[in-house]
Amino acid sequence: MLPAFVVITAAGAASGEWMWRVTSYRVDSERFHVHTGVVFRKRLALRRERIRSVDLTADPVLRVLGAVTMRVGTGEKAGAEGTVTLWPVRRASAEALRATLLAHAARPDADGGSLARFDRGWIRFAPLSFLTPALGAAAGGGTLQVAEWFGMQQRVFDVVGSWFGLAPVLLVALALAVALLLVGGVATVALWVETWWNHTLDRQADGTLQVRRGLLTTRSITLEESRLRGLEVVEPLAARLAGGARVDAVATGLTTDDEDKTESRTLLPTAPKELADQVAARVLREPTPPTSAPLTPHPEAARGRRLRWALGTVLVVEAVVLVLGALLAPVLLHVAWISALVLFPVAVALANDAYRALGHTLTGAYPAGYLVARSGTVRRATVALQRRGIVGWTVRQSWFQRRAGLVTVVATTAAGAGAYAVRDAAVADGLALADAAVPGLLRPFLIGADAEPEVTPLR
């Protein structure tokens, strides 16, 4: 093992030295130029005013060497021609280059300061994630797979069976599930600590927000404050039950890859909900957090839609299990009625919770105010979107919504997910909200400028 480790380390060092020698860059008044390669030369030139992010990452080896991997992006998807990666770069040089490339984002009235600091108490929210059962199941499956490779799978079953003796099957299954959840919880905590240890959120004097985090591999993410169009306070179900929430940025020009899409826009990991709202207010420079503003509730008909969806989903699942039980294994018939006793009450509870989450409001005066909308139960999200960042509206109304007098209005923006919905609002309330959020934008499409807003169904 040691010779292999030495060889791999030496190869990595040689690769880094080679990349350092064959890559050069320079910055002029208009562009950032990068030249790399020997046999196949590659030259890129990014216009400085289009540069949106400069992120620095350092794994343990680079940290020892005082170097970082530097990724410069224009807001396009990672891997596109608008993203340049320099590796390795001396940390001091990378920090200086980042300041130069983001100088165009500087605000004359900008002020620096700390917005959030890491608290070890946040670790308690780490196991309250879908990763806990996923990693637990992966650990169990991996153990069985390795045992099969060595022809020891039956021995594993025999050993586990000897632990429980003649205990009922359901009790054995429950014990194994709890054990896997514990393993998954430990793995999730370890992953969370590696990702978010020493987290800091700072406002820099050059008009940027900077997130630093990481235990072994450190990362520094920079976001131009001028590109911020709002925030989203996200409460996953398990974390919400424990009083936790995280804060995500709604911004234009974030360079993200598919595997790190969420973490790249997260300003605050899951922390107490009160702190999340306070951080949201600090980031948005508001005296009170828009994400905690009182919301207008939605009609009772919206509850009925959620109940029908939830109960319909359970009925479909139970019908499939019953059919399989009748055709293949009679034991599934017992599984069907036992699971129904659990799933139907859970579905009703989640549907009622989803209805209670619905709400919307407007804060402040256009263009400085916010559209605030909340929805979801498994993933409850409250978005505060700057009204000046809304560039269009999409009005959706299904046949069932028309019968119930409901409508979904979707605010279109160039930031974040690109669209944020106010779901199942009363028709008059939803259209009046859209018309008031950005005065004049929706008015030409409403029937009768002085009449109550209404929807014309498509034929």
Q: pLDDT digits over 348-372, tens only?
A: 999 999 999 999 999 988 888 999 9
Over the chain, what is the mean pLDDT?
A: 87
**DSSP secondary structure string for all residues of 305-339:** HHHHHHHHHHHHHHHHHHHHHHHT-THHHHHHHHH
The predicted structure's pLDDT at residue 83: 80
| Distance separating alpha carbons of residues 51 and 433, to the nearest angstrom | 35
Question: Which residues touch 449 (CB under 8 Å, ≥6 apart)?
Answer: 443
Alpha-helix residue ranges (DSSP H) falling in 112-168: 131-149, 153-164
% helix, strand, coil for the chain, step of 5 = 45, 25, 25
Q: What is the pLDDT of residue 35?
A: 85
> What are the phi and psi torsion angles at 82 (to 5°)?
-85, 5
pLDDT at residue 262, rounded to an integer: 52
Tokens of 116: 């959030």
Q: Helices 300-327 and 331-357 sit at what angle, rounded to 10 degrees? A: 170
> 83-90 and 379-386 as β-strands: parallel, antiparallel, unpaired?
unpaired
* Spans of the chain below 70 pLDDT: 1-22, 37-40, 76-82, 105-110, 166, 169-170, 254-263, 447-459
pLDDT of residue 150: 85
Residue 341: the pLDDT is: 93
Rounded CA separation 31/46 (Å): 5
pLDDT of residue 444: 76
Residue 190 sits at φ, ψ, to 5 deg, of -60, -45
β partners of residue 209: 203, 223
pLDDT value at position 383?
A: 98
On the 0-12 / 13-18 / 19+ scale of CB atoms within 10 A, 437 is buried
Distance CA(77)–CA(249), nearest Å, equals 17
**Tokens, residue 112:** 């620096």
